[in-house]
């Protein structure tokens, strides 16, 4: 990734892959595109959180596979492997952060609160990039690194949220 954001070419949605990579355009936000993509993901998830959990996991796996290809193609077209406009990784990461507690401890808190807490924790891990998030981003090639650093951030957020909710319920 280039160091100076001024050197990064603007993203252009000109294919289905770039539309997916840009989170249906949410990643084109001129301010905080990763947060915009995460908020977009939250808005997509909110009405479907009560769906069958198995369907969520299958759809998440499919979205991750599609996301790897879309992020890879968008990175090549836009000239930056992890262009700021690529936010399909935020969509998948937040979804995972919600699905972990939703699977392990369903209905502990209202879904809207679960989603908000997952959003906050996911953004914290995605921005701070602790190990293994930073390691995956650097060590995996192209679209894989773009996607799986956010998968790791989503796992970390989901596990922390689950532990926190269990702790609060036990108190």
Condensed to tens digits (0 to 9), the pLDDT of residues 83-95 reads: 999 999 999 999 9
> What's the rounded mean pLDDT across residues 22-40?
96
Q: What is the pTM of this model?
A: 0.93
> Which strand (E) or helix (H) includes residue 78?
helix 53-78
pLDDT at residue 159 is higher than 90: yes
- Residue 5 DSSP one-character state: G
User: Which tens digit of pLDDT belongs to each residue from 49-99?
Assistant: 999 999 999 999 999 999 999 999 999 999 999 999 999 999 999 999 999
């Amino acid at each position: 990734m280039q160091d100076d954001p001024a050197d990064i070419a603007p993203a252009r949605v000109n294919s289905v892959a770039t539309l997916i990579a840009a989170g249906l355009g949410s990643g084109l936000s001129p301010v905080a595109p990763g947060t915009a993509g995460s908020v977009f993901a939250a808005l997509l998830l909110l009405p479907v959180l009560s769906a069958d959990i198995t369907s969520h996991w299958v759809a998440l796996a499919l979205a991750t596979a599609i996301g790897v290809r879309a992020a890879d193609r968008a990175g090549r077209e836009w000239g930056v492997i992890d262009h700021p406009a690529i936010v399909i990784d935020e969509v998948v990461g937040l979804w995972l952060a919600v699905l972990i507690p939703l699977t392990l401890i369903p209905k502990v808190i209202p879904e809207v609160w679960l989603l908000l807490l997952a959003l906050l924790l996911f953004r914290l891990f995605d921005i701070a990039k602790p190990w293994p998030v930073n390691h995956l981003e650097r060590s995996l090639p192209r679209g894989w690194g773009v996607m799986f650093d956010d998968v790791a951030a989503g796992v970390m957020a989901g596990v922390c949220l689950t532990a926190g909710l269990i702790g609060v319920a036990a108190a």
